[in-house]
Structure 1
Amino acid sequence: MTHRPDTSATAVPGPLTDERREIQALARDFAMNEVLPLANELDPQQGAIPDSLRGQMAEMGFFGLLIPEEHGGLGLGVFEYCLVAEELARAWLSVSGLLARGNGMGGGFTAEQQKRLLPLVANGEYLGAYALSEAEAGSDVANLSCRARRDGDEWVVTGTKMWCTYADEADYLVLFARTDPDKDPAKPHRGISAFLVEKPRGTFPPGVTGSKVRKIGYHGWNTWELSFDEVRLPGDALLGEEGRGFYLAVSGLEVGRAHTAARAIGLARAGLEDSIAYVREREQFGRPIGDFQAIRFKIAQMATEIEASRRLMYHVATEIDQGRRCSLEASMAKLSASEMAERVTSEALQIHGGAGYTTDFAVERHWRDARLTRIFEGTSEIQLRVISDELLGRSA
């Protein structure tokens, strides 16, 4: 078996307590022994994450990391959530994304819904997917045109949604639609509402059809374009207050960006660790290529960039857990980690040479998936906009 060096937490002081190290070790063992073999087998053929793996994640409590203990979860913080996410992403980005189909999906639930549904979320029986973005409303998420109108005691939804990952396998969708037809051009975010759309796992609700998005990576599950054709929802499907769905959509941005930073770090770590293993075995000119300074310096630079991004992510997770606003730092962490992940995985592919440009080595998967982290949860350009607005004030 190829030696895989641990580059995840060398001499980490302070926030990595003994309890957190145990959680990290548990997640790492699961990722390397259960997730990685499946990723290596299934990703090249675009196979689906098996239900059995989802069941194992549920048994380990991974879907309930952020759910309070009174609702059946582990009651842990964003720091622990990010530790687990990094380990899972090191094996397969898609599985680390599956983690978020439980944790963090209950925003807007009423007290009654929390009592009824969160225990099901924690044990993996009630996982969700977002139906938020549209063809003309990606970064400009306030520009939604999907419409929900009242009809007696029901809501009727018409429109389309894009980038709905896991929409088929989820047990419910969180749907965002415009309930006020008179969009204010000056304040387009007003009049957007959120809805809980419950459905059987493995199918779409009546009146909803889907087309698969043909992705270059993020395999293991499907991403959909959804069409809603006069879909009827009960009156109590509304999540939170009518017209305030936009605030629900953006309320979890700090956690989402910390989570994405952790996933990007995991991908970069995969590239680094695979490269270290490779340069010890690959020989040219009569010796391992790890003896050549050019390769050694690449490895050193990759490791340094990963650790710098990890420390910033740890800081953001700590700030969130302590209840302090950190939108600036969260955007910095997401920007730093995602840009770093593409650089590091690209260097990893370069270190592998021609072999890296084949599907025989996992490094090409790390590279493909790392590219996505610069796009989802807010593009790098959006993060730069957030950061510059925090520092300079918003431009006219």
Structure 2
Amino acid sequence: MSQDVIARAYMTEERRAIQEQAREFTLREVLPIANKLDPDKGEIPMSLREKMAEMGYFGILIDEDYGGLGLGVFEYCLVAEELARGWMSVASLIARANNVPGMEMLTPEQKKEILPRVARGEWLGAFAMSESNAGSDIGNISCRAKRDGDSWIIHGNKYWCTFADGADYLVVIARTSPAPEGKKHKGLSAFMIPKERGKLPLGINGAPIPKIGYHGWKTWELSFDEFRVPADALLGEEGKGFYLATHGLEKARAHTAARAIGLARGALEDAIAYADEREQFGSPISCFQAIRFKIAQMATEIEAARQLNHFVCTQIDTGGRCDLEASMVKLFATEMAERVTSEGIQILGGAGYTTLHAMERYWRDARLTKIFEGTSEIQLRIISDRLLGK
């Protein structure tokens, strides 16, 4: 789809070059692998991760002093949209370097040692916060960590920890002290746990959660059985884990919106190509008004989501407040993505309901974007609370 309609105020020549480079990379490297591996629930190959590292995608938000690209959230989301057009899991993988909670809590010495490795794709993280009874309700976390001399002992369960096996470290949120009455968010702490890539540490057991989509990597249920970590595994201040977990939510929601837009764009582009080729009653179906209007509506909704996300990214990069708009774009883009990908399946007809086309992958993955990083219902609550008061 042509990007000429993008507002000139947002798209500089440098950004257009980054976008075009990411688009070419996705069509050349990501999409063929996704089409091959996703139907069999295969995992993102290390060879692709190495190519992404060469492109600098793991260091987009990392300062140049540490070997990163030193760019902003705008560029981060430009790249994420393009990668998601090929495979959303790959667009999500770059967040395991650019936006893992807790990295801002590293000491200057730790940053010098760790961040160059992150930028090279050698130190990727997984976030263990959610539990079976604590999704958006972070204050309901029951996993515990208690101090024992020079160590902490973690006990409890975590759910929805994507990439727990492939990551080089885990960031775990656990309760270290009872919550005061009416302040459930207090008393939570964060821990950084280094681990061997491809394995879970001894003392942490886990099982992959069966999913209908978001293939390319595994999502885990984890069990911590009196798991001991050194005192310096604590990230930031004790009892301030809630603030660490919620820091940068605007960035995460903009990234999710970008992924949703990429999925929707993949559906649109594939639908246009199919409509031009598929003939019925002696004409390509792209000649029929019903199909043409579907495509016009799809394209309009995608562009509306993209423009709102460009505004949110610009606000983040310039230090402006945008928690309201970040929730709006997360809500709008993800709801849009499910509608657009569903319409894409309708345009392809029976072919769209097969794994022979990427359309069903876009649809399955778009459905998830309405759930993670705060459900649509949570976004509606945030928006309404800001507009109407709590």
Which bin holds the TM-score, normalised by the shorter protein?
Answer: over 0.9
1:102 aligned onto 2:119? no
1:70 aligned to 62, 65, 74, which one? 65
Amino acid of the residue matched to residue 271 of structure 1? A
Contact kept in structure 2, 1:7 and 1:273, CA below 8 Å: no
- Any gaps of 5 or more consecutive residues in structure 2? none
1:317 aligned onto 2:347? no
1:54 aligned onto 2:49? yes
What CA distance in whole angstroms lies between the structure 2 residues aligned with 1:379 and 1:107?
Answer: 25
1:301 aligned onto 2:300? no
Contact kept in structure 1, 2:6 and 2:307, CA below 8 Å: no
- Any gaps of 5 or more consecutive residues in structure 1? 1-5
1:153-168 aligned within 5 A: 153-168=150-165
1:28 aligned onto 2:23? yes
What CA distance in whole angstroms lies between the structure 2 residues aligned with 1:73 and 1:280?
Answer: 42
In structure 2, do the counterparts of structure 1 residues 251 and 11 end up closer, same or farther at CA, with 3 Å as the change threshold?
A: closer
Amino acid of the residue matched to residue 53 of structure 1? L
Contact kept in structure 2, 1:110 and 1:240, CA below 8 Å: no
| Residues paired across the two proteins, number | 388
> Where does residue 372 of structure 1 map in the other structure?
368
1:121 aligned onto 2:118? yes
Amino acid of the residue matched to residue 182 of structure 2? A
Amino acid of the residue matched to residue 57 of structure 1? M
What CA distance in whole angstroms lies between the structure 2 residues aligned with 1:9 and 1:49?
Answer: 32
1:349 aligned to 320, 323, 345, which one? 345
What CA distance in whole angstroms lies between the structure 2 residues aligned with 1:7 and 1:132?
Answer: 39
In structure 2, do the counterparts of structure 1 residues 102 and 45 end up closer, same or farther at CA, with 3 Å as the change threshold?
A: same
* TM-score of the aligned structures, taking structure 2 as reference length: 0.98
Amino acid of the residue matched to residue 205 of structure 1? P
Contact kept in structure 1, 2:139 and 2:185, CA below 8 Å: yes
Residue 206 of structure 1 aligns to a residue in which SS? coil
Amino acid of the residue matched to residue 142 of structure 1? G
In structure 2, do the counterparts of structure 1 residues 240 and 9 end up closer, same or farther at CA, with 3 Å as the change threshold?
A: farther
Residue 94 of structure 2 aligns to a residue in which SS? helix
How far does the alpha carbon of each residue in 1:288-338 deviate from its partner, in whole angstroms, 9 at most, with x for none? 000000100000000000000000000000000001121000000100000
Amino acid of the residue matched to residue 17 of structure 2? E
> Where does residue 168 of structure 2 map in the other structure?
171
How far does the alpha carbon of each residue in 1:105-147 deviate from its partner, in whole angstroms, 9 at most, with x for none? 2232222211110000000000000000001100111211100
1:201 aligned onto 2:194? no
Deviating more after overlay: 64-73 vs 7-16 = 7-16
Contact kept in structure 2, 1:374 and 1:380, CA below 8 Å: yes
Contact kept in structure 2, 1:8 and 1:269, CA below 8 Å: no
> Where does residue 336 of structure 2 map in the other structure?
340
Contact kept in structure 2, 1:7 and 1:269, CA below 8 Å: no
How far does the alpha carbon of each residue in 1:92-117 deviate from its partner, in whole angstroms, 9 at most, with x for none? 00000001011022232222211110
Residue 104 of structure 2 aligns to a residue in which SS? coil
CA RMSD between the two structures: 0.8
> Where does residue 262 of structure 2 map in the other structure?
266
> Where does residue 356 of structure 2 map in the other structure?
360
> Where does residue 128 of structure 2 map in the other structure?
131
1:236 aligned to 223, 232, 237, which one? 232
In the TM superposition, residue 71 of structure 1 has moved relative to its aligned partner by: 1.1
What CA distance in whole angstroms lies between the structure 2 residues aligned with 1:9 and 1:131?
Answer: 41
